[in-house]
Structure 1
């Protein structure tokens, strides 16, 4: 398979993975994909830094598999709106709904997803479905010859 064809097939496979993820999240959030995006953005803002920090990784190993609330970086609604490219008022309404559902909490500096929410059966189910979806994508990419090494995903 030539390089251009591999790129096209890889993009098609990635789109399939994105659509499967949207379907899963949409089902979990009763069709409110915007609320799901706001929630996911809060999670990423809270814990995204932990995946790249050796100190944070070591600390997580000592406290357990979920980062305690104090290791999370709060995020503001304004920052979420800017990241997602959606109106502040829309984000504000979604945040209010997510707080009312008990899946977001206001803390000094913004919003976090509390530990008990991340540890819930619902989040475990979503995490597992996301992992299975990513694994499927990686297997498909490997089959068409996409290099998934640390050097960056390059076409073999």
Structure 2
């Protein structure tokens, strides 16, 4: 019940944050995983792939941004199982919102705005609630 309560509250917030379109956070999350997810298991012996010049202007002003690996509508469609046309349409909305930068070659990158907005939300609201829920679950499991 504790986990269900947390998840429902979180889903409601995400639903509202993304204009009541539940596909937008799924797509933004997949793009983020493609862009920066490779650095979770980064091998220091592998080459460092910097964000290309075309996508870098979307990230100006950030202190430290990890190099990003590009993705495109096709890879996001494959990752989510959503039709490519739906993915393209939703990516267009994420671009309009300023959370995704799309290059002429179709490469997609998170923007500074997305990093700043969702990083702040995660630290101010989601992470503390998640940690509190985890502590409560641990206490229940230990009883």
Asked if TM exceeds 0.5, the reply is yes
Q: What corresponds to 2:52 in structure 1?
A: none
Instruction: Note the alpha carbon deviations across 1:73-102, whole angstroms, 9 max, x for none.
Output: 111111212222221111110001111222
Confirm or deny: 8 A CA contact 1:17 1:137 kept in the other structure.
yes
2:115 to 93, 105, 118: 118
Q: Give the TM-score taking structure 1 as reference length.
A: 0.67
Unpaired segments ≥5 residues, structure 1:
1-11, 147-155
Structure 1 position 42, deviation (Å): 1.0
Tell me if structure 2 keeps the 8 A contact 1:26–1:32. yes
Aligned residues: 126
Which of 1 and 2 has greater Rg? 1
What is the Cα-based RMSD across aligned positions, in Å?
A: 2.7
Structure 2 stretches lacking a partner, 5+ long: 49-61
Task: Spell out structure 1 runs of 4+ moving beyond 6 A.
Answer: none
Question: TM-score, normalized by length of structure 2?
Answer: 0.72
